Amino acid sequence: MHNILVTAAHAAIDSSADIVNGTSPAVPEVVGWGSYAQAIGILLLLLGALYGMLWFVKKIGMNKGFKGKKGTKPTLDVEERFHIAPKKQLVVVRFLNKRLLLGVTDHQINLLSETEAEDETSDSSDSKEFTKIMGQLHNTDSDS
């Protein structure tokens, strides 16, 4: 029992000497306002970098559309829109060599019709009829 008390006393003397010398690991480090300002500065820098990347993608990447091979016309092209009601419309889309009629709402997109797309130079009667019907729908929409 005597040895335990002596060992505890020596440990207390050693730790008090470390505290007096300033080498004790038990003293916590004080965090000041500078650390908070540095953290806020890094956060603002990261948010600015994210905003810059979003601006770059919007300005350069997304407005070009989906293109096939470099230098060719877009493989996805919106040819016509017909607004039925607010947030409801019919959209004619040319994708690869197909022409798609889509019903678009704010919650979903439905494929209504799919036909083979002709070249712009062809004088197909189907193409003329399709253009005529879309023109009539467009004129009816603008009258009301």
Give which of 95, 79, 89, 94 is closest to 109, Cα–Cα.
89
Give the whole-angstrom CA distance, residue 10 versus residue 122: 102
26 CB contacts (<8 Å, ≥6 apart)? 15, 19
Give the whole-angstrom CA distance, residue 119 versus residue 137: 23
Length of the chain: 144
pLDDT of residue 52: 93
Domain ranges of the chain: 32-64, 66-143
Residue 73: other Cβ atoms inside 10 A: 11
pLDDT in tens, the chain (144 residues): 555 555 655 555 555 555 555 555 555 566 788 888 999 999 999 999 999 999 888 777 655 555 555 556 667 888 888 888 888 999 999 888 889 999 999 999 999 988 887 765 445 566 667 777 777 777 766 665
pLDDT of residue 97: 82
β partners of residue 74: 67
pLDDT of residue 118: 72
